[in-house]
Structure 1
Amino acid sequence: MSADGGNVLAGARVATRLPARDLDRARRFYAEMLGLEPVDERPGGLLYRCGGAEFVLFRSTGTSPGTFTQMAFEGVEDLPAVVAELRRRGVVFEEVDAPGLRTVDGIAEVEGNCPSKGARGELGAWFRDSEGNLPAVGQPVF
């Protein structure tokens, strides 16, 4: 906390960092499958910008567990159309059948998961990238 009692991180931007064992393979996946190109790169990482936010793919010797959502592309307008287009490019979407979360053709209705965004819920879809990370794509439901 700062001297005035406020949160010292409140003004900071938040950015996602995703590990990549093979940065060249990851770059190809994000370019060919998602249509994204890095806006900056260094020998150990690639910086991407989408919708005013940033994420980095960084060279890592570790592996991603891919057991939870690590990043989300949120606010798409037509999730079924986005899923169809990404599938056409070769993206494979996860099928989930767990208590409280079930996908149908790769898309789940997630109720009450976006309370701070004014939505009653969200449509969500998950896929694994070339490095085992688990990004999501979401559409708010009002």
Structure 2
Amino acid sequence: MLKDQQVAAVLPAQDLNRARAFYSEKLGLDPDNPEAEDNLQYTCGGGTGFLVYQTPNAGTAKNTQIGWMVSDVAATVAELRDKGVVFEDYDFPGLKTENGIATMPDGSAAAWFLDSEGNILSINQTG
């Protein structure tokens, strides 16, 4: 029933204005509904998208909540760093980042960062 349908992520924000500024200034995204006061809706590639809504629960998840597929993780990390995005470093069994980027056994690469609300976001590249 749902396998052929598009999906969209939903992210929490404690402060929508702060989130709007982060997504615009750091990631180059502007909401589809700039006049809305209770949520921000963003459209990304291939008709995908996500919604940011206000809640005091923002930043409490300890897992990746949304990820973008890119053709070159290293180049995207460099571009986002130039805009002030700080990448996370991890050292877990089976996952270690170097300069903010993890290379997986299958040759894919990924990097993680936090948005202004403490949500864990990622960029991913297939091998």
TM-score by length of 2: 0.91
Deviates more, 1:65-74 or 1:86-95: 65-74
Runs (4+) off by over 4 Å: none
Instruction: Say which structure, 1 or 2, has more relative contact order (CA 8 Å, 6+ apart).
Output: 2
Matched position secondary structure for 1:138: strand
Bigger Rg over Cα: 1
Q: What is the aligned partner in structure 1 of residue 21 from structure 2?
A: 28
Distance 1:123 1:40 in 2: 33
Deviation at 1:65, TM superposition (A): 2.1
Deviation at 1:11, TM superposition (A): 4.3
Deviation at 1:121, TM superposition (A): 4.2
* Counterpart selection for 2:66 from 65, 71, 76: 71
Name stretches of at least 5 consecutive residues in structure 2 with no aligned partner. none
Identity in percent: 46
Q: What is the aligned partner in structure 2 of residue 10 from structure 1?
A: 3
Q: Does 1:109 align with 2:103?
A: yes
Distance 2:104 2:62 in 1: 18
TM-score by length of 1: 0.82
Name stretches of at least 5 consecutive residues in structure 1 with no aligned partner. 1-7, 112-119
Q: What is the aligned partner in structure 1 of residue 30 from structure 2?
A: 37
Distance 2:58 2:9 in 1: 16
* Counterpart selection for 2:50 from 27, 35, 55: 55
